[in-house]
Structure 1
Amino acid sequence: MKKISFFLFCLLLASFVHAQQAKYVFFFIGDGMGVNQVQGTELYLGELDGKIAIAPLDFTEFPYATTSSTYSATNGVTDSAAGGTALATGKKTMNGVIGMEKDQQTPVASIAMRAKEKGFRVGVATSVSVDHATPAAFYAHNPSRKNYYQIGKDLFLAGFDFYAGSDFLDPDNQGKSESLYSLAQKNGYTLARGYDDFVSKSDKADKLILFQTEEASKVHRDAIPYAIDRKEGDLALSDITGAAIRFLSKDLSKGFFLMVEGGKIDWACHSNDAATAFREVMDLNESVRQALQFYEEHPDETLIVISADHETGGLVLGTGEYALNLQALQYQRVSETGFTSILNGLRRQTGNRVAWEQVEEALKANFGFWNEVKLTEAQEKRLRDVFDRTFTGESVEMEKSEYAQDEPLAAEAVRVLNEIALIGWVSGGHSAGYVPVFAIGAGADLFQGRMDNIEIPARIAEAAGYVAE
């Protein structure tokens, strides 16, 4: 009799544990972060420790890990709009569409909207503009991801408690409509510019939008700086995440849902810039640590899920030599775009009469070439040939990727360093490769077995009780 009672007790206990809902949900999305972006970062960190082994990121040690497919309703290779919509709503749509069915007319509610309906506090945050495809999929409905002004207006209709990113891309509809900043005030939002401004305003704000400083937006309004290019005073994704947690925690009794996007992993991979991409993955990990600190205080009520909307670039770890030399990437000190700015500065300083010796010094300082990183004669010739072709005073055709137009010499320097690191890239676009899924906390056991991207929000909704009763 006692044995039967103990067995029933165990069943009841197991039932209670499984039924424990997640009151606090963190959903991290590494845009463009495929399995090799994660594995490459860990192998890179391992080499920096002097080992042929991985140095685990915090989120890769979560107890539940699997992979997800990412195809859209209309394409074998998704874009961020369809990928973001799948992760936000559990519905596949056509590429380019935000928060709608593939008919481009029927709106679909996101898990963030469901959380809001259930009385949870809600935040959407990103390292790129707040109206970019992935964050927009959580609050907007639009047939085109490029309708930035209309997407920005949907932000107010959703009425979430906290938004963060670099800025709005098109705040006044190209001068034809009322400013989104004005609409923010009318809709009860406090606008904070930079982390210090957030700290001074957050306590008194009912709803808040956090952007980088106006000075930073005058330089690049489309994103905060890459981690590798970050300078003191720049807004970081970890700042944004910490601010979101602080703001949403003003009333913990309600619980919250927070989506955080590491948006520039994708941008670096579009440029095939491995050193910058790995540092962006590390930067996302720093933001996850903020969530882990919260989880440690509320372990029975917190769920953290990490995934990606798609893989970018077709990253290859190893180019045929049965070896890697990822430690060489540590000597790259700026992104490809950052080095473009350095070369542009040299052009301005010299009236576009830049000498090879000046470029050589810049390559030494920012890529370690000839010093820490030895070049073959062929590699040096490639750099010199690009210099001779593009620094002759004639017009230069910039090398274009999805989100950048860079100096050909900057792109070639990155290609040479990738070659030395024994890293390859298939394209400058997206691929259909699997993306990782990691989970810890209340309901994390739901994230097992091979998944499709539309299952991720469904399982988050089940774990947190966002589903209809």
Structure 2
Amino acid sequence: MWMDESTGLLPRVGGDRRAKRRALWGALVALLVLLTIALRIGGAHWRRVATGKRNVIFFVTDGMGPASLAMTRAYAEVLQDAGLGGALHLPDFQVGSSRTRSSSSLITDSAAGATAFSCAMKTYNNAVGVDPDGVPCGTILEAAKLQGYLTGMVVTTRITDATPAAFSSHVDFRWYEDLIAEHQLGSYPLGRVVDLMIGGGRTHFYGPQDKKYGNGGSRKDGRNLIEKAVEDGWQYVGDMEEFERLQGGHNVSLPLLALLADYDIPFDMDRDASVHPSLEQEMTTAINALTHATKDSDKGFFLLVEGSRIDHAAHYNDPAAQPKEVLAFDRAFQAAVKFAAESDVETVLISTSDHETGGLAVGRQTGKAYPDYVWYPEVLRNATHSAEFLAHAMINVPAHERQDYVREKVLEKGLGIDYYSEEDVEELSSSRTAGEILDKLARMVSLRAEIGWSTHGHTGVDVNIYAFANTASAWNSVHDALLGNHENVEIGDFMARYLNLDLSQVTDLIKDTKHSP
């Protein structure tokens, strides 16, 4: 039973005084947040007057909880000589926090978490763009397109993965990625609603028999959706050479389909810059393309940007990979703030996480003795590759060469670990799967850094909300909606109201969508 003053179960003592104090405190907090952001960014842009044209850039840091930022900040302060508080930009823009549970569990998965944003609705774990009864729900991206906005999605995982899928498709089960790809290209009642997609996930757009676009196709029906997209007018980009021809977004013909990997873009610490772009490069290309395409329109754009692989590093419990993913996201967010601050179009940036992953603890008791209050970021610095990268490289090494390879290439060179036991070498050498190797490597790094994890899955911890707006009126709207602690659906609701979108109208239009194979 909910208890408040109206139930008669709680005495009303000094209620008016407390209410006044709360109101005053809220006003002071709002003013401090406002002044802090203005001082950090510079207040000149706030002299602009809203014209009615609006952009929204919505960021999702998949799997990033507060501890991820604490670990990354300390890592950068200690190892990059960034100074106290100077290592990360994102925390300067914190306005609130979000509660992440789904309709089916106190711990959400990414599909339900993303649908809470896209449809402003709680749903069950594994649901993509459908309500708790499996009925397709209209999304912010779809509604924005119907209102005349241009739309885009930028990710570092598969473009058919849960977060982008929840904005651009409707399926009962998140792993129906072949069907998700069809929806994203327009094979459903609304037709094409996405103007730009940049990420990985090429595998779900062609079959294993096709070799024209790569060797990793996995569509069960064997269809080649890439060729169909090109026939339908999409500009297709499949590698870094073609991506560079986009000239940072200044040489783009919409709609754009950029599938830059069969599966996920590599972790930032493993990424070859000549083969795969950074998240910042992907996002900047998208922003420039959408800005140019809307320059003569009275509508702006809606862009989804996901730091996708923060989550993967946490699922693997890999403390060396995660800070570098967070830093890569931070650079992208700062570039977006710069764009917004310089733009003549009213622009709002919102950033949050769908959930926390890993149960990360920045500090760990490694024995029975009373623990030291310390952790060792230099252990993370010594690693040159992620556990994922090293595990997949090692699995192909012949058995008779494995022990030397483990010592020299994996532990000493790959992870920078020079104090290990022969038992460690034997356990790694005898591992039969990449998953076993990955888990062992991540545990070795975590133990030496004294970083703790409680799970390879998600947790129910609240996550932070960050925001920026380039006009005072837009900032007031953000502040009124998102200051303090909120349900995740309130973030989606704010974006819909800010862009004056009617999600229920879209829900009615997509009711006949095929949402299972």
TM-score bracket relative to the smaller structure: 0.7 to 0.9
- Residue 31 of structure 1 deviates from its aligned partner by 0.8
Cα deviation, residue 263, structure 1: 1.0
Distance change >3 Å, CA 90–CA 18, structure 1 → 2: farther
> 1:239 aligned to 2:285?
no
Q: 1:339 aligned to 2:381?
A: no
Structure 1 residue matching 2:348: 3-state secondary structure: strand
Amino acid at match of 1:222: Y
1:327 and 2:327 matched: no
Compared CA separation, residues 224 and 419, structure 1 to 2 (3 A): same
**Aligned-pair CA distance for 1:57:** 1.6
Please, which of 72, 89, 98 is the counterpart of residue 128 of structure 2? 98
Which runs of 5 or more residues in structure 2 are unaligned?
A: 1-46, 187-191, 208-218, 365-370, 506-517
Q: 1:433 aligns with which of 434, 456, 461?
A: 461
Q: Equivalences for 1:108-119 in 2 at 5 Å?
A: 108-119=137-148
* Pairing of 1:253-332 with structure 2 (within 5 A): 253=297, 254-298=299-343, 301-319=346-364, 320-332=371-383
The one of 205, 209, 213 equivalent to 1:171 is 205
* CA shift in 2, pair 1:120/1:342, >3 Å: same
The partner residue of 1:207 within 252, 255, 273 is 255
* Equivalent position of 2:154 in the other structure: 125
Do residues 185 (structure 1) and 216 (structure 2) align?
no
Residue 327 of structure 1: how far off its partner (Å):
2.8
Deviation at 1:333, TM superposition (A): 0.8
Comparing 354-363 with 423-432, greater Cα deviation is found at 354-363
Of the candidates 442, 446, 469, which is equivalent to residue 418 of structure 1?
Answer: 446
* Alpha-carbon distance in 1 for matches of 2:137, 2:347: 26
Counterpart mapping for 1:456-467 below 5 A: 456-467=491-502
Which residue of 1 is the match for residue 14 of structure 2? Answer: none
Q: CA deviation at 1:199?
A: 4.8
Residues 299, 61 of structure 1: CA spacing in aligned structure 2 closer, same or farther, 3 A cutoff? farther
Q: Is the alpha carbon distance of 1:357 and 1:263 closer, same or farther for their aligned partners in structure 2, counting shifts above 3 Å?
A: same
Deviations 1:203-222 (A, max 9, x none): 3623111121xxxx4xxx22
From 22, 32, 45, the counterpart of 2:76: 45
Question: Contact 1:92 / 1:101 at 8 angstroms: preserved in 2?
Answer: yes
Residues 43 and 55 in structure 1, CA contact (< 8 A), matched pair in contact too = no
Looking at structure 2, the residues matched to 436 and 21 of structure 1 have their Cα atoms a distance apart, in angstroms, of 29
The alpha-carbon deviation at position 368 of structure 1 amounts to: 1.9
Aligned mates of 2:49, 2:258 — CA distance in 1: 36
SS at match of 1:165: strand
Residues 323-374 of structure 1 show CA distances to partners (whole Å, capped at 9, x for unaligned) of: 22223211111010111134235x2xxx42126444222212122222xxxx
Amino acid of the structure 1 residue aligned with 2:265: I
Alpha carbons of structure 1 residues 465 and 17: separation in structure 2 relative to 1, 3 Å: farther
Pair 466,358 (structure 1): closer, same or farther in 2 beyond 3 Å: same
Cα pair 1:81 1:96 within 8 Å, conserved: yes
Are positions 1:366 and 2:414 aligned together?
yes
1:344–1:283 CA distance, 2 compared to 1 (3 A): same
SS at match of 1:116: helix
* Contact residue 22 and residue 463 of structure 1 kept, 8 A: no
Aligned sequence identity (%): 27
TM-superposed CA distance for 1:39, in Å, is: 1.9
Over residues 1-53 of structure 1, what are the superposed CA-to-partner deviations in whole Å (9 max), with x where a residue is unaligned?
xxxxxxxxxxxxxxx99987671111110111111112211121122256894
| 2:223 matches 1:223 | no
Residues in 2 aligned to 1:413 and 1:311: alpha-carbon distance in whole angstroms:
22
Query: Given that residues 314 and 456 in structure 2 are in contact (C-alpha distance below 8 angstroms), is that contact kept between their aligned partners in structure 1?
Result: yes
For 1:199 and 1:232, the matched residues in 2 are separated by: 11
The TM-score normalised by the length of structure 1 is 0.83
Distance 1:155 1:51, change over 3 A: closer
Contact 1:354 1:391 in 2 (8 A): no
Asked if 1 retains the 8 angstrom alpha-carbon contact of 2:143 and 2:501, the reply is yes
RMSD of equivalent CA atoms: 2.5
Residues 406 and 428 in structure 2, CA contact (< 8 A), matched pair in contact too: no
> How many corresponding residue pairs?
421
1:215-274 per-residue CA deviation (whole Å, 9 max, x = no partner) reads xx4xxx220110010113123222211111121112233311100111111111110001
Aligned equivalents of 2:361, 2:172: Cα separation in 1? 34
